[in-house]
Amino acid sequence: MGRMTDIANDSPLMAGDHSASTGAGRAADGDHPGRPALPEHVRVRFCPSPTGTPHVGMVRTALFNWAEARHTHGVFVFRIEDTDAQRDSEESYNQILEALRWLHLDWDEGIEVGGPNGPYRQSERTEIYRDVARRLLEAGYAYESYSTPDEIEARNVAAGRPKAFGYDGFDRNLTQEQKDAFRAQGRRPALRIRMPEEDVAFDDLIRGHIDFKAGSVPDYVIVRPNGDALYTLTNPVDDAMMGINVVLRGEDLLSSTPRQIVLYRYLMELGIAREMPLFGHMPYVMGAGKKKLSKRDPESNLFLHRENGFIPEGLLNYLALLGWSIGPDRDVFSMREMVESFDVRDVKANPAHFDIDKAVSINAEHVRMLEPQDFLNRSVPYLRRDGVVSADSWDALTDRERAVLTAAAPLVQPRVRLLGEVSAMVASLLSRDGYIEPDDDARKQLKGSSEDVLDRAVAALEGVDEGAWTAENLHETLNAALLEGMGYKPRQAFGPVRVALSGRRVSPPLFESMEIVGKDVTVARLRGLREHL
């Protein structure tokens, strides 16, 4: 008990001093007033629970930890917090692995990589938690608590406090006789951490100085009556034993930080922890209506974004902007550039708003930056999914499919924002059909002059030799026949031709598309639409 009292008398209980345990830290940066210097050798972690589909908030947390580790040449640890048997699933575990691999967020220690501090799944560390809990109890830092939730509520009401006020410290100083009496009733105790009666303060890497007043955080449970360790114990213990010295996590966990600071002090006294980590709490990601983005919101679903055609470069670029920026008036950058510039102390504390339109726009920039063959390789699985091509890899396509797509790439790549949009742009180029049923919005573009336009276009194009079937010559031919010869405006003249060729109001450049599909198919489609007007 004496050791605990010594800690409690150090007022206020302050976290974040690395000078005693890590040696010289990184020099304090004048651009980050009120923010602590980072340790010399940064060790960060990503520790999701496998409960549901990976979401953008989870990925943003992984990204910022990964970027900090790569920027400082530190270590990125990836572990899984899977002690909630009712909610955790192997499917979700595999999805988290799949997500990190798709996004190319590699890790240095942890799941499937190994390292000196394993195992890296909490479900495999049960004996470690039991041993630490025993040592905390023996040292007086934890104590047995027999109060039931109903008893705690009843005591609060009797004392004139709100019913849901929380635990009141009733079991802090139970005598052995009282404990024996509870056990005789068949009760099994939970274990609670004994919080000191003083302020708990720390310097947040993102938010600056934060102070929790004495008494604002009640003694909290670390082990259930059935012996199961809770997150409140397992998370700090894992961080301590894995040497994590920078903890970057969401703002929603800020309220648990004073608990972790106090527990860390106890773990340091017991020789389990070597140092107190620095904490940085990242801003909420907000969705529509200025509400926190929920896991259930469609915008939150990582794999839905992938299904729609986001590429890793574009999605990560946008997620990086949810609280951080690389520079004034600059939104588009590579992950290499992010790593070069990232410092968690530059992250803003204000909530970040997830704007799907901006995310799509940034993704479009990254799609345009892909090498043409890379663009095609990445597009093929979407084309196969949509039934546009015969295989899901470039090498397995037919010669004709590869030839058409190679010719189409420079026409399509600058015009799509998501890889999921490629199918609609190239389907008509790959099809041999002589008639394509127009989309509803395309059919609305067909005016009263469309019949005449199609008739005159067919007549003009039938006179073009196969050897002269080039985009440039086709443009000149239709200009002469429809604009110069009949006085039509370009939209009147070329709109019906575009709809006939692609079935769409928006398509790849018209004359280049006609060159790709060839004379026979082009003329057949013009006639086909004319017959269906």
Please spell the DSSP secondary structure of 11-64, one letter per residue. Answer: SSEEE---TTTSSS-PPPPTTSTT-PPPPSS-EEEE-----SS-BHHHHHHHHH
1 pLDDT exceeds 50? no
- State mean pLDDT over 92-96: 96
Instruction: Give pLDDT tens digits for 349-380.
Output: 999 999 999 999 999 999 999 999 999 999 99
346 pLDDT exceeds 80? yes
The domain 370-420 having CATH identifier 1.10.1200: the answer here is no
Contact at 8 Å (CB) between 428 and 503?
Answer: yes
Q: Is 519 annotated as a binding residue?
A: no
* Nearest one of 513, 530, 532 to 521, comparing CA atoms: 513
Q: How does residue 15 score in pLDDT terms, banded at 50, 70 and 90?
A: low
- State mean pLDDT over 427-449: 94
- What are the boundaries of each domain within the chain? 34-111+283-368, 370-420, 431-532
The model's pTM = 0.91
Contact at 8 Å (CB) between 287 and 299?
Answer: yes
28 pLDDT exceeds 60? no
Amino acid residing at 433: D
User: In this structure, are strands 43-46 and 13-15 parallel, antiparallel, or unpaired?
Assistant: unpaired
Name, in order, each residue with C-beta under 8 angstroms of 111's C-beta and a sequence gap of 6 or more.
78, 79, 80, 97, 120, 121
Q: How does residue 7 score in pLDDT terms, banded at 50, 70 and 90?
A: very low
pLDDT given for residue 34 in this prediction: 80
Q: Which residues pair with 286 in a beta bridge?
A: 292, 353
- Looking at every residue in the chain, the average pLDDT score rounds to 93
Amino acid residing at 431: S
Residue of 213, 290, 291, 295 with catalytic role: 295
What is the Cα–Cα distance from 202 to 17, expressed in whole angstroms? 9
- State mean pLDDT over 120-124: 96
169 pLDDT exceeds 70? yes
Instruction: Give pLDDT tens digits for 316-327.
Output: 999 999 999 999
What is the Cα–Cα distance from 172 to 453, expressed in whole angstroms? 90
pLDDT given for residue 16 in this prediction: 54
Q: Looking at mean pLDDT, say which of 86-95, 296-305, 328-337, 443-452 comes out highest.
A: 328-337
pLDDT given for residue 165 in this prediction: 86
Q: Which CATH class, in words, describes the domain spanning 431-532?
A: mainly alpha
447 annotated active-site: no
Instruction: Give pLDDT tens digits for 136-160.
Output: 999 999 999 999 999 999 999 999 9
pLDDT given for residue 30 in this prediction: 56
In sign, the C-alpha dihedral spanning 180, 182, 184, 186 is negative
pLDDT given for residue 295 in this prediction: 80
Judged by DSSP in three states, 75 sits in strand
Q: What number of helices (H) and strands (E) belong to the chain?
A: 21, 13
In this structure, which CATH number among 3.40.50.620, 3.40.640.10, 3.30.70.20, 3.30.70.100 belongs to the domain 34-111+283-368? 3.40.50.620
